[in-house]
Chains A and B, each alone.
Chain A
Amino acid sequence: MSRVRILRTLLVVLPIVALTVCVPLVNRIEPRLFGMPFILLWILFWVFATPGFLWGVGRTEGRW
């Protein structure tokens, strides 16, 4: 696989893995931020990082 393809695969797989199989690993309350438990912060982080990842995928495909 070329470097670009590896990068693209990572950009797709990382957020999906983080939002699914990783969640049991972060199933705890502390540390908290704005009162929110860590598990919720983790999920929120990946939800709002996903546009960045998908934008990056588009970049590796030369779309924008």
Chain B
Amino acid sequence: MNASLSLGIVAAIVISTVSFAFFSIRRVKMSPHEYIVGNRSFGALFLWVLLAGEIYTSFTFLGAAGWAYGLGAPAYYILAYGTCGYIIGYFLLPAIWRIGKERNLLTSPDFFVARYGSRALGTAVAIVQFVLVVPYVTLQLSGLQILLKIAGYGTIDGRTAAIISFIVITLFVFATGLRGTAWASIVKDALVIGALIFVGIAIPIQFFGSPAAMFDQLLRAHPHHLLLAAGAADHGEIWYVSTVLLTGIGFFMGPHSIAATYSARDDDTLRRNAVFLPLYQLVLLLVFFAGFAALLIVPGLKGPAADQSFMLVVQHFYPPWVLGFIVGAGALCALVPASALLLSAASLISKNVLGDALGIATSDRSRLLITRILVVLVGLLSLGLWLTEDKSLVSLLLVYYNGVTQFMPAFVFGFLWKRTSVWGVTAGIIGGLALAAYLAFNNLQIGGANPGFLALALNVALLVGVSLVTRPPVEAST
């Protein structure tokens, strides 16, 4: 009874969000540019919603709460790195947008083709980004399953429900493209803010009297939980500083973020977004509150169970309809980013692999059709990979962030240094990716610092060194 009420609410939320987005785009004329980058027409508010929709995923919320619950102070890094990412984005995104507009770019690898004049590089970048992004989609499926399992009060394992909702969202992307994702983000953001005000404010007030009283109790029970460990300790100060810098640098490097960048109406739209997005970090503070409260209310959860901490509090202490609303908001946090990721993964293949490398489907009509078919195929691929529960997926996720960060020097040096050559960029990316993967798989840390730093340093060194000894690009033909 409880399970059907809460799951019913989740289903109603997902279905009405999808219908709302369908309804909103019913008059839009489809083309590859409309489908993949929204015809470069998104204004400041619409883009804000889309970016917030993509950035704050189910794993931001479950993971941030899990960190606040299990590790404490290291969770603060999530507040800081996004903010650093927005500061860098203020300068980076308008530059990416401008070349995108001038050269009519669709995907992130298109930038490499336009700036460095090499289709082969663009295709290689597309394949690497595809390999990095697909595990990220499967991560959203895992988040979805956790949420639905909680909403079912343990009566379902969540897997079937996760598969159904994922198929719904794949068909939704098939039909609507990036603009549909942006409309769905509007519902997602509204619900998420509501849900988090509830779990971050109402739970501490109800159980402790006020958030302040909750902190008093937390400091008595766990005196070191809210401080970073000194120096080079695990998740200590050095780890914090290096991780905030590194992840801030890589913040907008996912191919879905580049697609969102292209979708802006003009460059000032992107600057306005960089100015206002830090305010959205407030929701993360609420997630921390929920995680801290859960630590006092349901202590002792270990490992992945810590990620479910505050959801379990809601499940135990609140009526099913409240749980339904909160899981519904959480489900949208998995589905909306998943749709943006699916779309960008499909466009990497349709544009840079099939189109540029193999000369297949280069007319507008066939490219649109192929991209749509690929959305479904990539959706099925992610689903299949997720169901195999392959361990290498977890390893690939470890590399995702440090992996996409390796594309950053190609953008920054590409804009600022004329001499940057295609060989320099290629050497940098290969060296950086190889070292990042090696360090991640072997779980190596150097002096407590984030290992991605070394990879990025090697990348930049190779980029500069090789560019100096190879021919600078002939000013790429426009």
Contacts and interface: CB of A to CB of B under 8 A. Distances in A.
B76 A50 contact: no
Given A58-B271, A63-B271, A23 B276 contact: no
A58 B241 CA distance: 27
Nearest to A21: B241
B285 interface: yes
B84 A58 contact: no
B55 to A, nearest CB: 14
A20 interface: yes
Interface string B193-213: 000000000000000001111
Given A39-B226, A47-B278, A19 B212 contact: no
A50 B219 CA distance: 29
Contacts of B215: 32, 34-37
B275 A39 contact: no
A10 interface: no
B80, B219, B230, B282, most chain A CB atoms within 10 A: B80
Q: Could you say which interface size class chain A belongs to?
A: 20 to 34
Contacts of B281: 47-48
Nearest to A50: B278
Given A24-B240, A29-B219, A58-B271, A50 B86 contact: yes
A44 B285 contact: yes
B228, B240, B278, most chain A CB atoms within 10 A: B278
Given A39-B73, A44-B79, A47-B278, A23 B228 contact: yes
Contacts of B227: 27-29, 37, 39
A19 B244 contact: yes
A54 B79 contact: no
Contact of A12 (B87, B230, B285): B87
B361 interface: no
B416 interface: no
A24 B230 CA distance: 8
Contacts of B343: none
Nearest to B229: A27
Contacts of B90: 54, 57
A16, A19, A27, A43, most chain B CB atoms within 10 A: A19
Interface string B239-279: 01100110010000000000000000000100100111011
Contacts of B86: 50, 54
Contacts of B364: none
A32 B236 CA distance: 21
A35 to B, nearest CB: 3
Interface string A24-64: 10011100101111011001101110110111011000011
16 contacts: A19-B80, A20-B245, A23-B76, A23-B240, A23-B241, A28-B227, A34-B211, A35-B212, A39-B76, A43-B80, A46-B80, A47-B80, A47-B281, A51-B279, A58-B275, A64-B268
Given A29-B227, A48-B281, A51-B279, 18 more contacts: A16-B84, A16-B248, A19-B84, A19-B244, A20-B241, A21-B241, A23-B76, A23-B244, A24-B237, A24-B241, A27-B230, A43-B79, A46-B80, A47-B278, A48-B278, A48-B279, A51-B275, A63-B271
Interface of A: 12, 15-16, 19-21, 23-24, 27-29, 32, 34-37, 39-40, 43-44, 46-48, 50-51, 53-55, 57-58, 63-64
